[in-house]
Amino acid sequence: MSLRRLLKINGVSLARHARRHAHGIFAAPSPGRVIDPVIGRVQKARAAVGALTTFLLISVYGVDGGWSAVFEDGFTKLFLAPLVLILVGPLVIAGFIWYAPPQHRPVLRARLRYPLRAIGWYLGIPLGAAAAMLLLLVLNKALAGIFALQAVIALTVLLAGIPLLVWAALFLFFASGAAARYAFNTADVHAALPAVLTAVLVWVLNVAQLGDGLPNGPVAVQIAAFLGGPLSVTAVSYWELHVLRTRYGVRVRG
């Protein structure tokens, strides 16, 4: 059976299984997570307006590198956002816990095991799959001349190693979006944490994007395009904190 035939047979099930596994890790309901359909709709509407605005600005003023650069930038941000959360998130969470009342801090620190577990899955699954494939290739090279064992390893790589790598890549793709959206399950530490982390994340990513220069267009348009995204996300996050406080009694210092 050819590799193409093997992946064609398993491709759909691999993608579905990887997506289900990523959703189960990052998007599963938990006692600490507040799921409000109105908040979800507002977040989706802001994302849609942002995407439409970006499309209109690029259509009118163009972009360096063309549309391929736009898709490449979006693809890069998909994987960059979780990494920024992993690097910057601990500082924000430490400040959040320090700001909380002293009697609540031990409980919040104890709940850190939930985002740490999510980070472990996010990093461990792709790295584990890559390590397993590397080990098989090293064994195959070490057994040079022992054709029977090399044949077994080659068959293992074909039937298990490559599908595992494909599944891990699909998992990383689906998990990156979910991890950024749910901020690595930090709602299990405190329901308000994802909104705070989202606001910080969008500003960090926007500042990092300065290395590519401002968008094309007049100065006023450049400034609006640069600040519009993070300001709108921050406004939605602030509104989300207001809803959590007034409708569900979620307070950082409560």
Measure the CA–CA gap between 118 and 25, rounded to whole angstroms: 7
On the CB side of 161, CA atoms within 13 Å amount to 16
Measure the CA–CA gap between 253 and 70, rounded to whole angstroms: 41
Residue 217 · residue 120 · CB < 8 Å: no
Measure the CA dihedral 99/176/182/227, to 10°.
70
| 124 has a pLDDT exceeding 90 | yes
Structure tokens at 152: 């077994």
Range 90-104 burial, b when 16+ CB lie within 10 A, else e:
eebbeebbeebeeee
At 10-45, the pLDDT tens digits run 556 888 889 999 999 998 777 778 888 999 899 999
Task: Give the residue, 104 or 212, on which the prediction is more confident.
Answer: 104
| 85 has a pLDDT exceeding 50 | yes
Among left, alpha and beta (phi > 0; psi -120 to 50; other), residue 194 is alpha
At 139-149, the pLDDT tens digits run 777 776 676 76
Structure tokens at 73: 């930038």
